[in-house]
Amino acid sequence: MPLVSDEVLAPTSDIHVADSRTFRRAFQDLREGFTQRELWLALGWQDIKQRYRRSVIGPFWVTIATGVQATAMGLLYAGLLHIPLNFLLPYVTVGLIVWNLINASILEGSEVFVANEGLIKQLPSALSVHVYRLVWRQVLLFAHTLVVYVVLLFAFGVWHNMHWTAVAAIPAFALLVLNSLWVSIVFGIFATRYRDIAPILGSLTLLLFVLTPVMWTTQALGDRAGERARIAEINPLYHYLEIIRAPLLGQDQRAYHWYIVLGFTAAGWALAIYALRKYRARVPYWV
C-alpha cells in the first residue's frame, strides 16, 4: 500500500498546464490586462507618436488622407451612380471612417502577437494587454478621422437632418470596439499559429471592401434594388456600418441591424474566450 497518494506524486507542471486551460484563466487574462491600462494606454499613445515621429502635423496625416480619399471616391461615384454629391460624400466619408477601424481590427489584429514578440517573451503581463493596446491605438486614429466628418457635418448641412436618435452612435461605437477586441484575439491567436492566415485576411478584406456598401448605396443597385439589397445584407459588415452611419447622418435606423450585430458580438466573444482558454499558454511559444 503506497504511503503517498497519486495526487502528491503528480508532476506540478501538469497541474499548471491544466490550470492554464480553464475559462477562469481566460477571464483572468482579460481582467488583468484591463487593470494594466496605464501600460497599454501609454504604449498605444507611444505607437502613434512613433509612427509620426518628426512629422509636423503628426497623426493628422490620417485625417488628410481620409479626407482626400473620401472626396475622390465621393466625386467619382456621385457621377457614376447619379446621386447628389451633398448626400453621397458624407455617406462615403462616414463609411470610410468606420471601415478603416474594421479593416485595421482584422489586419493588424492578425499580427498583434507576432508584432509584439519581444514584449510577450520578456514582459510579464497578460496576453490581452497587446490587444487592448492595438484597439486603443485604432480608437485614437478613429478620433482623428472624425474631424473630416465634423467638417462635412456643417459644409453639406448634414446637421439639419440630425435629431436626438444621433446618440445611438455612441453605443454603436462601443459595439464596434467590443468587436474589434474579439476579432483581434481570435485572428491574433490563429494567425500566430498558422502564418498563412494573415495574407488570406488581406485578400479577404479587399474583397469585402468592394462588396460592402461603403462607396455605393443599396438604393443605387438598379431596377431590382430590393432583391439585390437583400443579397448585400448577407455581408455582416453592412450591418456594422449601418448601426453607426445611420445615426451620424440623421437617417432612419432599423432594429434588425442591431440584432444582427449583437448576435455576432455574442458569438465572437464566445469564440474569443474559448481561444484564450485553449491556446493562450501556447502563444509565447508560437511567436
Per-residue pLDDT reduced to its tens digit, 90-121: 999 999 999 999 999 999 999 999 998 888 88
Owner of C-alpha cell 448585400: 232
Asked, for residue 28, whether it belongs to a domain, the answer is yes
pTM to 2 decimal places: 0.87
Residue 77 is placed in which grid cell?
Answer: 461615384
Please determine, for residue 4, whether its predicted confidence score (pLDDT) is greater than 50: no
CB 2 within 8 A of CB 8: no
pLDDT of 11 higher than 60: no
pLDDT the model gives residue 222: 54
Its domain, for residue 31, covers 22-286
Q: Which of 205, 24, 190 is nearest to 114 (CA)?
A: 190
Residue 82 covered by a domain: yes
- How far is residue 125's CA from residue 128's CA, in Å, rounded to a whole number? 8
pLDDT over threshold 80, residue 86: yes
Burial 217-253 (b: 16+ CB within 10 A, else e): bbebbeeeeeeebeebbeeebbbbbbbbbbbbbbeeb
State mean pLDDT over 28-34. 93
Domain total for the chain?
Answer: 1
Q: How far apart are CA 150 and CA 162, in angstroms?
A: 13
CB 176 within 8 A of CB 240: yes
In a domain, 27, yes or no: yes
Report pLDDT digits (tens) over 232-252: 788 899 999 999 999 999 888
**Confidence band for 14, pLDDT divided at 50, 70 and 90:** very low
Question: Mean pLDDT, the chain, as a whole number?
Answer: 85
Q: How confident is the model at residue 51 (pLDDT cuts 50, 70, 90)?
A: confident
Burial 93-131 (b: 16+ CB within 10 A, else e): bbbbbbbbbbbbbbbbbbbbbbebeebbeeeebbbbbbb
Asked if residue 2 is part of any domain, the answer here is: no
State mean pLDDT over 217-221. Answer: 71
Which helix (H) or strand (E) segment holds residue 135: the answer is: helix 128-155
pLDDT digits (tens, 9 = 90+) for 262-273: 999 999 999 999
In a domain, 6, yes or no: no
Alpha-carbon gap, residue 166 to 253, rounded angstroms: 10
pLDDT of 135-174, one tens digit each?
A: 999 999 999 899 999 888 888 887 777 888 889 999 999 9
Question: Does residue 226 belong to any structural domain of this protein?
Answer: yes
Q: Tell me if 39 is assigned to some domain.
A: yes
**pLDDT for the residue 211:** 86
In a domain, 37, yes or no: yes
